[in-house]
Amino acid sequence: MNRRVAMGLLTMVVVAVMAAPAEAGAAGARGTKRTVSIKVFNDTSDSDIYVVGIGEKQAQNLPQPVTLSLANKNGGVFIAPGKSKTILVPGGKGALVAFCADEFVKGQPLPEPGGEALYNLSPGSKTTAGVYEAHDNGASTAVNGCQLNVTIPRMNLK
């Protein structure tokens, strides 16, 4: 009899865990996926890049200066040339920002971005992005020697 009761309780626990809504994002956001999944391709010829997504609301609360450690906590990743990684960024409005990895100085704030793309994506959606070298055509807003173009094909924001 005890074995039946134990199995019944175990079954109820398993069913309850499987039926619980998924959690993502802030506390109290049960059942709502608040992130966007972006598969980022490094289409540069020979440069490692660092990519991080910053939501509009998140950007208002970031302490200054932004360090590599803080960017890593917000989902930043290094991507080797010719490779891709999927990153999670906050849903809604934001920016996908790319940096040339060779411009990082250990213990210093992040350098100026090499390029960025604005996005406005529904929470829970998935998309792709490409990062490639900008050639002096005025397409990049970088103020340093690192010039990158970041494109999100699904987006037509300027």
Highest mean pLDDT among 31-40, 56-65, 97-106: 97-106
- CA 106, CA 74: separation in Å to the nearest integer? 18
Element (H or E) spanning 39, and its range?
A: strand 35-42
Would you place residue 145 in the very low, low, confident or very high pLDDT band (cuts 50, 70, 90)? low
pLDDT at 137 over 60: no
Highest mean predicted confidence (pLDDT) among 10-14, 18-22, 54-58, 94-98: 94-98
Task: Decide if 88 contacts 121 (C-beta within 8 A).
Answer: no
Helix H or strand E encompassing 42: strand 35-42
pLDDT at 13 over 50: no
- Are the CB atoms for 96 and 117 separated by under 8 Å? yes
Q: Which residues pair with 41 in a beta bridge?
A: 84, 130
Residue 2 has pLDDT above 60, yes or no: no
pTM (whole model) above 0.75: no
CA pair distance 112, 134, nearest whole angstrom: 15
Sequential DSSP letters for 63-102: -SSPBHHHHHHTT-EEE-TT-EEEEEEESEEEEEEEEEGG
Tell me what the mean pLDDT of segment 33-57 comes to.
Answer: 89
pLDDT above 70 for 38? yes
Would you kindly state where each structural domain of the chain is located, as residue ranges? 23-151
Asked whether the predicted pLDDT for residue 26 surpasses 70, the reply is no
Q: What is the mean pLDDT of the chain?
A: 75
The CATH fold of domain 23-151 = Immunoglobulin-like (2.60.40)
pLDDT at 142 (0 to 100): 46
How far apart are alpha carbons 57 and 126 in whole angstroms? 20
pLDDT per position as a tens digit, 99-130: 998 888 877 888 889 999 999 988 888 999 99
